[in-house]
Amino acid sequence: MRAAHTDASTAQALRGLAAEYARAMDRNDPAGLRRILTADVSIQGPGFAIAGIEQACAVPASLREQFASTRHTVHNQTFSVAGSTAEGEVYCTALHLRRTHDGQRDVQRVLVWELRYQDAYLLQGERWLIQRRRLCIDWTEERQVDPCN
């Protein structure tokens, strides 16, 4: 990342993007993604590449097809701003709940990804948007969980 000063309002706006992205993924909200991604957004990760806003907006529905629910929790965030562009790294824990049947009973398992997003941001008008996101999975874990209801 480039070394540059990040003022408080810019840092707050960039932090907000991570929270909005997490919420849009967890709530199956493509409209929420449209508010925070550039039209030419690029998202890459292990085994996948997404090009453009239309492909990106299809991801939340795809998550619903694969998992009973997801929960993305945002942690550390660092940024470097240079004019109308910025770079950042966002730490996140992504939980993916799966419901299966083991032959005798329903079982819930959670797939945990400890990950980092390496982002490029673009200021369009008065609003910061995510232009590029690279998903780096540091490790995964899977375990059984007890249902609450």
Give domain 8-89+116-137's CATH architecture: Roll (3.10)
Helices and strands of the chain, counted as H and E runs:
4, 6
Angle between helix axes 8-26 and 59-66 (nearest 10 degrees) is 50
Q: What's the distance, CA 59 to chain centroid?
A: 10
pLDDT in tens, 60-77: 999 999 999 999 999 999
The answer to whether the beta carbons of residues 43 and 133 sit under 8 Å apart is yes
pLDDT in tens, 116-134: 999 999 999 999 999 999 9
The mean pLDDT value of the chain amounts to 93
For the chain, domain boundaries: 8-89+116-137
pLDDT at 7: 87
pLDDT at 4: 52
pLDDT in tens, 2-60: 445 578 999 999 999 999 999 999 999 999 999 999 999 999 999 999 999 999 999 99
